[in-house]
Amino acid sequence: MDNTNTDNNPLEDTNTQSIPPQDTQIENTSKMDDNENRKSSINTIWRNPNIADESDNPNTKDRKSNSTNKILSVKFRVSDAIKFAWKESLGNLGNFFLIIAAFAIAIIIINLILGTTPTHGLPVNTFSTYYITKKIILEVIILCIGTVFTIGMYRVSIEIYNGGKASFKIFFNIKNIILRFIGGEIVALICVGLLYIALFISIVVMSLIFVVYHQLLLLILLIPVFIAVVFVGIYLICAYYLWPLPIIAHKSTIIRSFKESFKVTKGNVGNVFWLIFLLGLINTAGILCLLVGLVVTIPMTYLAITYMYFVLKQRNP
């Protein structure tokens, strides 16, 4: 009896040593979950475009129903976007200052090089051609710098929303999206131009009716048409205002980015308008503070718009 007991003891010891305690496993798992909690809560909603394809899997129905309830409970508030932008712009103020200062210095140097035009030693016609050519080159370069700056600031804002920090490495990671973004800018400029043309035509028609035909009653009847054109223009601008973010965040095509902007802003166009209006006032205040305030207000603008896009996308995935 004693021999059998001694033979079994080593086996029992080895078995108990080979199996780690259950409490240790639970602690390690909980630590990993805590570290990944914030990123998973954000990324599973907007970084996983195939989540809808899992609806047929019975094992994921309960999880999807819970996540759907969380998404539907999300509500966008303009005040939350401003608070988020203010907090994160101050938290990354040093890096934002370096980025903005670098681009401001680059624009100043380019203006000093191409902005000065000699006024002596050239004929009048040659001088005008030379001046116009340099002016065009200067405007194109500044436009390209502005495009890079816009994409980079959105890239940094997305990284901050995702729990990261502002950096030049994230800022300049734009090589795969810059052409699509330029195409989106061209489409947006064409659409805005068409809206301005419609507004101009309505003003001209109303003026002709009043000046030529002296039909005051008809002019009064056309005023609602003019107001309708203005409101339609504002609505379309707000509805498609978020088109850059699908391109930058998801590398979407130009058409798809405009469609997604219209989708996520559905039912929230008023909030988009008020946020744009408030950001305009905030940037005006930054200009009045001897331009120094722009170091805070410019990042706030991109951060608030980025926050709005992802919150609205959670609401309308």
Taking only the tens place, the pLDDT of each residue in 228-280 is 888 999 999 999 999 999 999 999 999 999 999 999 999 899 999 999 999 99
Average pLDDT over residues 7-16: 44
The closest alpha carbon to 235, from 209, 204, 190, 269, belongs to 269
pLDDT bucket at 41, cuts 50 / 70 / 90: very low
Which pLDDT band holds residue 39 (cuts at 50, 70, 90)?
Answer: very low
Q: What is the mean pLDDT of the chain?
A: 78
- Rounded Cα gap, residues 288 and 291, in angstroms: 6
132: pLDDT strictly greater than 60: yes
Output the pLDDT for position 73. Answer: 52
Q: Residue 287: which H helix or E strand, with range?
A: helix 269-288
Lowest mean pLDDT among 8-22, 77-91, 225-239, 276-290: 8-22
For residue 316 the two structure tokens come to: 């309308």
Structure letter (DSSP) for residue 173: -
pLDDT at position 290 is 75
Indicate the pLDDT class of residue 52, thresholds 50, 70 and 90: very low
| Per-residue pLDDT at 6 | 44
Q: Is the pLDDT of residue 187 over 80?
A: yes
Between 232 and 214, the more confident residue is 232
pLDDT in tens, 64-80: 444 444 444 568 899 99
Q: Is the dihedral of CA 136, 138, 139, 144 positive or negative?
A: positive
| Predicted pLDDT of residue 96 | 95
Cβ neighbours for 247, distance < 8 A, ≥ 6 positions apart:
177, 180, 181, 184, 254, 257
Crossing angle of helices 254-264/294-315, nearest 10°? 80
Q: Is pLDDT at 285 greater than 60 in this prediction?
A: yes
Residue 126 above 60 pLDDT? no
The predicted pLDDT at position 250 comes to: 92
Closest-CA residue to 82 (of 317, 290, 316, 281): 281
